[in-house]
Structure 1
Amino acid sequence: MICRRNVYERVSVGLIIVLLIIYLMGNTSLFSFIPSYMLTYWIIPGLWMVFILFMWFKVPKMHLETKLRHKGTILVWAFNCGVAMLMANLFAGMIQGFGKSPYSHSLQGILMNILFIFPALVGTECIRSYIMSTFGKRHKLKVACGVIVLMTFLGLNIGKLVQLTTLKDLTMYLAEQLLPSLCENILATYLVLCGGPLASIIYVGMTAAMEWFSPILPNLDWLAKGVVGMAVPIGCLMVVSSRYSKLTKEVKAYRIKEESIWQWAPTAILSVLIIWFTVGVFPIYPSAIATGSMQPMIDPGDVVLVRKVQDVEDVEGLKIGDVIQFSRDDILINHRIVDVLEQEGVTVYQTKGDNNSGIDSRLVKIEEVKGTIVGVVPKVGWPTLLFKSSNPEDLIDIEF
């Protein structure tokens, strides 16, 4: 028995090496001497098909953890998860609109895309299943974490990743690609654990089929893609894990211990959303106040909630009495509009702090307006002020 287990483990290590080699072929310049079209549409798919045949006929078979009578039910769940993802994307598209697919839908284009997508998908999920079946019986939680991280890493585009230079670019990449990929791999790994490779192939394949073969696709912004890409897999995971627990009638205490990897996912997503809000990627963002120029409405140490200016129409809609946030010499100032003027045919705003004795000496231009104040949270900005206090010169140009 120990000898047979060693064979399975050696095979699993070999499968991981094969996976890494194919990834390097498609995502690095190590094989740049091969024409990219030939590498992408012929060599790599060919390797995947040879690999699948090898696994089917030569690799020792592993038995599923799930009883055979439950497998059909789990496959139905996997299909329902795929439907949920498709419906969520369609619903989001109804809100934000649809656009034409960038992929070819000629007969040749469809055949080439099938050749590009599905051998890799089937091969990857077979490897995922084999690793979980080999190592997961003894160290289920650790192995699941390792598989999730490995598969998420192999889904990264290294070329695009190294081009990220700003916090905004990194945040958008995390929201649009990395975190949805992580959530998809969490669900796919759980489906593999419950129902074998076919379960994850059904789920992942349905999502891939919509992206590659639908003539129109939801035209979603990066934030909407992130919300759909994280919320749907995690929601499906919670439903499937709950039903699977009832299906197999396992001991409650054991399930709590073993499923902790799935239970932290909603907390992780909530933490990410809080970070996004803090760094200002939502339409409303927080900003700490350092001065008392807007007392009694806003005290030093308060945090104001600022609704971003989205376009020129938002700025032109500003009126006397609105409290706006605007930038001046890299400093953010929050003052009230006291007059709307025209200067050389361009709209400008006269502002004043409620606690100041006079109006601001400089007019605010349209391009300087960041947003309008829609709320105040008292005193929670004091930690930010402690950092700013070491650089008092930053506040010299603010008028009191």
Structure 2
Amino acid sequence: MKRGYVKLYVLGISMFVLLLANLFIFKIANPYIISGLLFLFLIATIITLGIEKDNFRYKKDVFLNIVIILLIYYFLTYFFGLFTGFLKSSYSLKLVNIFKNAFPILLVIVLSEFLRYIWVSKSKENKIGLIVGYLGFLLIDVCLMLNTYDITSALGLTKMICLVVFPSITKNILLTYVTYKVGYKNCIFYRIIVDLSVYILPLFPDFGEYINVILETVLPIIIVIRLNNLFNYYDLRKIKESRYTKKNLIIYSVITFALLVIVTLTSGYFRYYALTIGSGSMTPKINKGDVVIVKKLKDTEIYDIKKGDILVYNHDDKIIVHRVNKIIKNNGQINFKTKGDNNNTADSWQVKQDEVIGIVKFKIRYIGMPTVALNELLNG
């Protein structure tokens, strides 16, 4: 192993471990502190690995393509906002407050993208180094949102994964790709437009947070596909290999579709959603770690629930998945008695109409075990 790679691994793993410790132990989300951490790593990286001159071709072409795609993106989203309505920004638009809110994030952007540039330039022939760096930048995004979502709760962890991790995955793929091809300047520009717009723009289309996250997840993939085609066009050696462009398009499309399905099913925003089972009360029909697909019921559909259906409902701020073993109708109202298949006795309470969420349609065995294990780890 080359000596330079050893230094690269040591720096990368150190940053990754420290960010991981922050995620689960220190839980620091202050952007100034994270900027300080990035600055220290940047200095250590420059001293240890050095820095290469930013001497890339096609920077202007990449910049132009990013600008065009962002203009189209914002035009379309605000156009459809005419039909869905708009939300007023929750941030003050006074110049002083804009600076106060945006400056710490700007620091994180500049430092992280400069660090990414050095990291990528030193890892071009080392896939492991690129992956370690990529995961580190992914963790930075997560750490910045620790004050927004409580990852010690199942709901908070799910929201963090859906609303932060998924968009960050595709965003960092784009930023790493652009850095690899043309350096850091276009990445800084992209992030200033996308990440700081929340502090600058007065109105935003009211799509709902989960539709927004789908858009934020797809946008970087669209840009990657466009830039990949651009570089294939410019590189004469790759023109004959244009079939790979189609192959990449298929791969990106599959990844995008998979992410959309995951976000859709885990969000709870749509008619069907996925729910991880955290107990064994429904064994053997549904085991701990299984994921069930829940069909949310309208008020009129609650009357169609039959004895034997597996009901999903809220009780004492907990989501319970138990089987209906008795239906109680009284003066037009309908309540349910439920029991876990693996429990000796029925539940002591009655489930009211307004507590019903939906019914289980089908299950997927054990794919939720990582979520269960992580939740148990966080909650002791």
Fold shared per TM-score above 0.5: yes
- 2:317 counterpart of 1:330: no
The aligned counterpart of 2:52 is 62
Quick one: distance in 2 between partners of 1:252 and 1:186?
24
Counterpart CA distance in 2 for 1:370 and 1:55 is: 52
Per-residue CA deviations over 1:125-171 (Å, capped at 9, x if unaligned) read 111111111221x23x54443332221112113746663432x5433
Q: What aligned pairs does 1:106-185 form with structure 2 within 5 A after superposition? A: 106-136=94-124, 138-139=125-126, 141-157=127-143, 159=146, 163-166=151-154, 168-185=155-172
> What letter corresponds to residue 103 of structure 2 in structure 1?
L
User: Residues 63 and 259 (structure 1 numbering): CA distance in 2 closer, same or farther, change over 3 Å?
Assistant: farther
Residue 193 of structure 1 is matched in structure 2 by 180
- Structure 2 unaligned residues grouped into runs of 5+: 275-291, 313-320, 337-349, 366-380
Match of 2:93 among 105, 118, 134: 105
Q: Match for residue 318 of structure 2?
A: none
Distance 1:132 1:368, change over 3 A: closer
Q: Distance in 2 between matches of 1:383 and 1:100?
A: 40
CA distance in 2, matches of 1:255, 1:142: 27
Contact 2:116 2:133 in 1 (8 A): yes
Aligned-partner Cα distance in 1 for 2:223–2:202: 26
Measure, in 2, the Cα distance between the counterparts of 1:20 and 1:145.
Answer: 11
Q: What percentage of aligned pairs have identical amino acids?
A: 17
**Closer/same/farther in 2, CA of residues 23 and 146 from structure 1, 3 Å limit:** closer
User: 1:298: which partner in 2?
Assistant: none
Match of 1:90 in 2: 78
Residue aligning to 2:299: 315
Cross-structure match for 2:200: 213
Does 2:215 correspond to 1:228?
yes
Structure 1 alignment gaps of length 5 or more = 288-303, 336-340, 351-362, 385-400
**Aligned ranges for residues 281-300 of structure 1 at < 5 Å?**
281=268, 283-285=270-272
Deviation at 1:201, TM superposition (A): 0.9
Matched position secondary structure for 1:156: helix
TM-score (norm 1): 0.60
C-alpha displacement of 1:241: 0.9
Deviations 1:175-207 (A, max 9, x none): 211010111111111111222101111111100
What letter matches 1:103 in structure 2?
Y
**Partner Cα distance (2:110, 2:43) in 1:** 11
Larger Rg: 1
Deviation for aligned residue 1:239: 1.6
Q: Contact between 2:334 and 2:353, CA under 8 Å: does it hold in 1? A: yes
Q: CA deviation at 1:268?
A: 3.4
Q: How far apart in 1 are the matches of 2:356 and 2:102?
A: 49
Cα pair distance change 1:145/1:252, threshold 3 Å: farther
The 5-angstrom pairing of residues 28-43 of structure 1 reads none
Quick one: which amino acid aligns to residue 118 of structure 2?
Answer: Y
Q: How much is the aligned-residue C-alpha RMSD, in angstroms?
A: 5.2
Whether the aligned pair in 1 keeps the contact of 2:272 and 2:295 (CA below 8 Å) is yes
> What is the deviation of 1:118?
1.6
Letter in 2 for 1:148: Y
Q: 1:188 to 1:282 in 2, by over 3 A?
A: same
Count of residues in Structure 1 that have an aligned counterpart in Structure 2: 322
How big is the shift at 1:232?
A: 1.3
Please state how far the C-alpha of 1:121 moved relative to its aligned partner: 0.8
CA apart distance, 1:83: 3.1
**Deviations 1:317-336 (Å, cap 9, x if unpaired)?**
x599x678783992159x9x
Cα-to-partner distance string for 1:46-94 (whole Å, 9 max, x where unaligned): 7878998999999954245743xx2211111232343355346535644
Identify the residue that residue 387 of structure 1 maps to in structure 2. none
SS at match of 2:272: strand
Matched, 1:241 2:228: yes
